[in-house]
């Protein structure tokens, strides 16, 4: 008995949990940028571009949390995080700083790829998309594999 067969029935639910936590973390950044809560020194006087990013994180992070329009929300957030890394971290000082540990962009990279994954995998079974039947859902070979493993 392999570990893949043991945890396969739980994988879709862990995907839903992953989607919720990713949305919650992005949502908190939006709240901090827009509503200044909690009070953080680097979000006190944010420029309009950062306020726009905060609005995206607030609205789309909330949509990710409930799992509504998951794929498009995650895709937009993935692009925003890539943009945030290159503009706000790598080129922040005017001269490129490539190492994420040095430029503070580790979270932006992780959010970028987490959202890119969610844009391809969807929100999982515990989501509004799943409750609505998620029109346009593409079934792929992996879904059949996991459903057979659960039997």
For residue range 20-30, what is the model confidence (pLDDT) as tens digits? 999 999 999 99
Counted residue by residue, the chain has a size of 151
Average pLDDT score over residue span 93-109: 94
- What's the rounded Cα separation, in Å, for the pair 60 and 72? 9
List the structure tokens of 135: 């029109």
Write out pLDDT tens, residues 7-66. Answer: 889 999 999 999 999 999 999 999 999 999 999 998 899 999 999 999 999 999 999 999
Instruction: Pick the closest to residue 28 from 64, 2, 4 (CA basis).
Output: 64
The model's pTM: 0.85
């Amino acid at each position: 008995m392999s570990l893949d067969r043991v945890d396969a029935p739980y994988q879709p639910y862990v995907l839903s949990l992953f989607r919720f936590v990713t949305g919650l973390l992005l949502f908190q950044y939006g709240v901090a940028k827009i509503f200044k809560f909690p009070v953080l020194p680097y979000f006190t006087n944010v420029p309009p571009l950062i306020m726009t990013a905060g609005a995206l994180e607030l609205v789309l992070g909330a949509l990710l949390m409930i799992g509504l329009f998951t794929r498009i929300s995650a895709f937009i957030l993935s692009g925003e995080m890539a943009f945030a890394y290159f503009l706000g971290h790598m080129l922040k000082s005017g001269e490129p700083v490539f190492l994420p540990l040095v430029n503070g962009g580790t979270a932006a990279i992780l959010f970028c790829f987490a959202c890119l994954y969610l844009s391809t995998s969807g929100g999982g079974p515990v989501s509004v998309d799943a409750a609505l039947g998620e029109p346009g859902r593409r079934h792929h070979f992996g879904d059949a594999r996991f459903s057979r493993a659960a039997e």
